[in-house]
Structure 1
Amino acid sequence: MQDNEKKNILAVQTLRNLIMGSTLMATTSILLSAGLAAIISSTYSVKKPLNDAVYGAHGEFMVALKYVTILTIFMFSFFCHSLSIRFVNQVNLLINTPPDPMSMVTSEYVSELLEKGFVLNTVGNRLFYSAMPLLLWIFGPVLVFLCSVTMVPVLYNLDFVFGNGQGKIMNRNGEIGDFV
């Protein structure tokens, strides 16, 4: 929060990029939710496939369960991204507040707000990613399995940093430690 020459522009740009990413994910989540809600409320019926063993059950209850589950996850993803935008916007405003010993705005407070924003962004992204295999659940269990088998290694590689043949993991404080 101190003026460290021109390095403060990097912090503001990083926060702006996080807000833009959260806005994109929130918009995508709410658009998919609206599309699913339109499908649920319409009289459109999905044709029953020839073989339920390959394509999954398509009874009225199962179709309703699939759509409501996916809709709920997308709505929670939207909620997390919206709150993330709120917290990061507050940080964006408060980061330029001049330090004052009598002020309630301390670097610890701004740091807590930033951490809440990042955690909500991560949770929103995870919910969105977990909804992708469930979206394919509409078409049957085979696509869910293939999507899940593909997503697990991709998300694993995003969470863990590998260097020199050893697994490393980043903790809440941003420190990198050994993977046990």
Structure 2
Amino acid sequence: MEWRKWYLDAILVPLALVLMFCYHLYLSFMVRTHPFSTILGINSHGRRIWISAMIKENQKTNILVVQTLRNIIMGATLMATTCVVLCAGLAAVISSTYSIKRPLNDAVYGAHGDFAIAVKYLTILTIFIFSFFFHSLAIRFLNQVAILVNIPNLDPNPSGCFFLTSEYVSEMFEKGFLLNTVGNRLFYVGFSLMLWIFGPVLVFFSVLVMVLVLYHLDFVSRSNNKEKLRIVDSRRASDLPHGNDNDDA
């Protein structure tokens, strides 16, 4: 009898999580091997160029840098705050004496006993806690970038042991964005798992739809990618030195 209550939860929910994990594993592989076929790779390249340009023109663009980083940090702070609020709400529901499963007994597919409800809420709470953790780390790195990017001259320190370069600042900036992206994706997974309260079927279909949407948002279409490569090739060709007309004679 217990297996009849749990088999949907034991199959569909882990399958949904594995599907989400495999998609992001494939996305990570594509970002590393074919970065310009993904939005994440293109944006990462653009951020590195932006950091280098802002450091070179620091005296002219310091206000722009501060405002841009402030907006990014405010977005990460908002997401971290939302995670804390959701964690507090879930903790209040878990500790409440009201049994939320009673009005849902006839509508929920899968397990809906006291132990099942506890597992569901604790799983969702854990996901949101990790999302808050990654967002807080992203804020830490972005705050450090806001200081380093405004250094007038990136010269070596007196000991000569370490060179503070634009590449180092770019790496810090990329780490902050990576942590922010991981926190956002965990936040999306947490929202899908919240449907687990109403049954594992909704979780599976929610994750399936989310993967399809994320695929269209994370990857560049082949036609657009070819057009961008043509533009880059034409620019490279225009930069090449032209031969002398007398060489053909």
Bin the TM-score by the shorter chain. 0.7 to 0.9
Q: Which amino acid aligns with 2:210?
A: M
Q: Corresponding residue for 1:88? A: 142
Post-superposition CA distance 1:56-107 (Å, at most 9, x none): 3111111111111110110000010011011101101110112242235322
Q: Corresponding residue for 1:42? A: 96
Structure 1 or 2: larger strand share?
Answer: 1
Q: Is the 8 A contact 2:132 2:183 kept in 1?
A: yes
How many pairs are equivalent?
Answer: 167
What is the TM-score of this pair, normalised by structure 2? Answer: 0.61
Q: CA-atom RMSD, angstroms?
A: 2.3
Q: Corresponding residue for 2:187? A: 128
Partner secondary structure for residue 221 of structure 2: strand
1:95-106 equivalences in 2 (<5 Å): 95-103=149-157, 104=162, 105-106=164-165
What is the TM-score of this pair, normalised by structure 1? Answer: 0.82
CA distance in 1, matches of 2:78, 2:217: 19
Q: Is the 8 A contact 2:62 2:150 kept in 1?
A: no
Q: Judge which range, 6-15 or 60-69, deviates more.
A: 6-15
Structure 2 unmatched ranges of 5 or more: 1-54, 228-249
Q: Corresponding residue for 2:72? A: 18
Q: Which has the higher contact order (CA 8 A, sep 6+)?
A: 2
Q: Corresponding residue for 1:175? A: none
Partner secondary structure for residue 198 of structure 2: coil
Shift of 1:31: 0.4
Q: Is the 8 A contact 1:136 1:144 kept in 2?
A: yes
Post-superposition CA distance 1:23-76 (Å, at most 9, x none): 111011110001001111111211333447x53311111111111111011000
Tell me whether 1:155 sits opposite 2:209 in the alignment.
no
Partner secondary structure for residue 26 of structure 1: helix
Partner secondary structure for residue 220 of structure 2: strand
CA distance in 2, matches of 1:131, 1:3: 41
Q: Is the 8 A contact 1:36 1:71 kept in 2?
A: yes
**Which has the greater radius of gyration?**
2
